[in-house]
Structure 1
Amino acid sequence: MKHIVEFCANNAAFGTDQIMNRLKEEQHCEVYEYGCLTGCGMCYMSPYCLLDGETVEAETAEGLYRRIIELIAEMDGNAE
């Protein structure tokens, strides 16, 4: 099953653009970038994305990447 990961272009200042590129290499992810995810200012507060429609946040872009991978593993029943 492929998971949909959506990013806000305005959130790239936190380094989410690098996370997007890493996730594009993952076979179980479809990655999209939009001008706005209608998070009403979330993109200016912290790194975040939508994973299968649910908001995922972290303090850093690297933390966001780890959290996304962790959640995908849990969803797929592969939690470590």
Structure 2
Amino acid sequence: MLKSLFGRKREPLKNRVEFCVSNEAYAHPDVYDVLEQREDVVVEDSGCNSYCEICECHYYALVNGEPVVADSAKELLEKIEEELSLNPIK
């Protein structure tokens, strides 16, 4: 029994991109749907992330806990992909 609990192979860690459900980027298919298709990313929805000043004026997401901000959905996706390439979870 102990072997079955501790002998399991662990899945590799994945990058985490979190969207506030109040932000425009949350429902934007150019960002959300594209990221969901990536194998190395887990996309999560959350309530308020306490970045209200950013949230009401810009598109934003938390990438591995760090806020990424842009003025358009396309720019946000580019910045998220840049952040994932520069600071991936290993």
TM-score, reference length from structure 1: 0.82
The structure in which a higher percent of residues are helix is 1
Structure 2 alignment gaps of length 5 or more:
1-12
TM-score, reference length from structure 2: 0.73
Provide runs of 4+ in structure 1 moved above 2 Å.
none
**Aligned-residue CA RMSD (Å):** 1.4
User: Which residue number corresponds to residue 6 of structure 2?
Assistant: none
Q: Which of 58, 61, 64 pairs up with 2:70?
A: 58
**Residue 67 of structure 1 pairs with residue 52 of structure 2:** no
Answer with 1 or 2: which has the greater Rg. 2
Structure 1 alignment gaps of length 5 or more:
none
User: Which residue number corresponds to residue 31 of structure 1?
Assistant: 43
**Residue 21 of structure 1 pairs with residue 33 of structure 2:** yes
Identity across aligned pairs (percent)?
30
